[in-house]
């Protein structure tokens, strides 16, 4: 016969039973929570690619760990950092090419109503002039710097044959539409009539039909824009070019790191942004490197069948006026078989490589 169980003993047994029930409940809760916890990562990782593609990566070639549009664009670039930058920006200035902020005069100017002015003093430095007129250079080693020229003549600045050493730097060169001698048109911002090299750098050039005209020279860091079309004395639309060379040159023409824009429509005489033409002789020894180029019938005319020593490298052909940069295409009259001719790493502004058409 067993002894009766006391109240304290009953309380102990009840407490033990409650603890056992609680332990079982906790174990069951842990087991039921485990599947939800283990299934959460697949759900989360499945959503991540969709969010990343929509918000971060504009291209399927983007790296999964990057959230930078510049990085995602890099697979379509040439492999160098500068080319990648050029392929992703929307304007010349954003890509480091010249624009209104980096070209033209940098200082205060003094008004000079010179009209047509013949310069005959060797070594003359024209600095800080705000010229209403034009300069015709019959002298050596003349420098025009930190000035502005507003012309109603055939040119803004012209170097005559037999003279050398002209430099035009940090200068704004423009014209008055409808006031020029070519039936109201104005033809050349800077013209080199001679056989010596001249330098044109960091200039802001606008309005002129054929803005920078020369067979030999160093054209660098300029901003050529807003060419104004006009009907010339021959009653035809004047062919317009940001840079033009007529061939027959004896020296080297370098066109480097410029912004060259020709917005002229095809119906109003658009020719090229860079026009290398064999008008007066064979085109030879021209370097076209690291420019932002847009507009014209073709953006670049390459010199035709006799051209030699033409190097076209690392240029960006922008689609801002036409889908193919020029109205009809990027380049025409390229002589792929010419001695010393090089075409390398030239791209559209969206990153596509440009292959030139054969000369015709």
Least confident range of 28-42, 202-216, 344-358: 28-42
Read off the pLDDT of residues 313-326 as tens digits, 9 standing for 90 and up: 999 999 999 999 99
Cα–Cα dist 146/126, whole Å:
8
Closest residue by Cα to residue 109 from 149, 169, 74: 149
* Amino acid 80: pLDDT: 35
pLDDT at 77 > cutoff 90: no
The pTM of this model reads 0.76
Is the dihedral angle over the CA atoms 281, 282, 288, 291 positive or is it negative?
Answer: positive
Beta bridge partners of 8: none
Read off the pLDDT of residues 271-310 as tens digits, 9 standing for 90 and up: 999 999 999 999 999 999 999 999 999 999 999 989 999 9
pLDDT at 103 > cutoff 70: yes
Local structure of 124: helix, strand or coil: coil
Beta bridge partners of 144: 126, 168
Best-predicted range by mean pLDDT (7-21, 36-50, 51-65): 7-21
């Amino acid at each position: 016969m067993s002894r009766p169980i006391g109240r304290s003993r009953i309380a102990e047994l009840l407490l033990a039973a409650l603890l056992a029930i609680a332990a079982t409940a906790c174990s069951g809760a842990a087991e039921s929570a485990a599947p939800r916890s283990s299934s959460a990562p697949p759900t989360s990782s499945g959503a991540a690619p969709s969010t990343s593609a929509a918000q971060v990566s504009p291209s399927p070639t983007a790296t999964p760990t990057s959230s930078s549009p510049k990085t995602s664009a890099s697979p379509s670039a040439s492999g160098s950092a500068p080319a990648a930058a050029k392929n992703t920006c929307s304007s010349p200035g954003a890509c480091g090419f010249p624009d209104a902020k980096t070209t033209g005069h940098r200082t205060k100017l003094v008004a000079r109503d010179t009209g047509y002015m013949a310069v005959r003093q060797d070594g003359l430095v024209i600095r800080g002039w705000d010229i209403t007129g034009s300069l015709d250079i019959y002298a050596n080693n003349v420098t025009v710097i930190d000035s502005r020229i507003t012309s109603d003549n055939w040119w803004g600045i012209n170097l005559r044959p037999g003279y050398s050493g002209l430099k035009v730097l940090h200068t704004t060169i423009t014209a008055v539409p409808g006031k020029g001698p070519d039936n109201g048109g104005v033809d050349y911002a800077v013209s080199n009539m001679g056989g010596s090299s001249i330098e044109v750098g960091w200039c802001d050039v606008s309005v002129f039909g054929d803005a920078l005209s020369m067979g030999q020279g160093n054209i660098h860091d300029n901003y050529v824009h807003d060419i104004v079309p006009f009907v010339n004395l021959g009653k035809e639309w004047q062919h317009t070019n940001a840079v033009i060379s007529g061939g027959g040159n004896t020296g080297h023409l370098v066109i480097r790191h410029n912004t060259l824009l020709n917005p002229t429509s095809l119906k109003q005489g658009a020719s090229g942004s860079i026009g290398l033409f064999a008008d007066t002789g064979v085109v030879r020894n021209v370097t076209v490197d690291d420019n932002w180029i847009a507009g014209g019938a073709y953006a670049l005319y390459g010199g035709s069948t006799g051209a030699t020593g033409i190097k076209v490298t690392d240029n960006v052909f922008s689609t801002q006026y036409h889908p193919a940069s020029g109205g009809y295409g990027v380049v025409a009259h390229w002589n792929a078989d010419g001695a010393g001719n090089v075409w390398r790493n030239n791209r559209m502004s969206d990153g596509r490589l440009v292959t030139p058409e054969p000369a015709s």
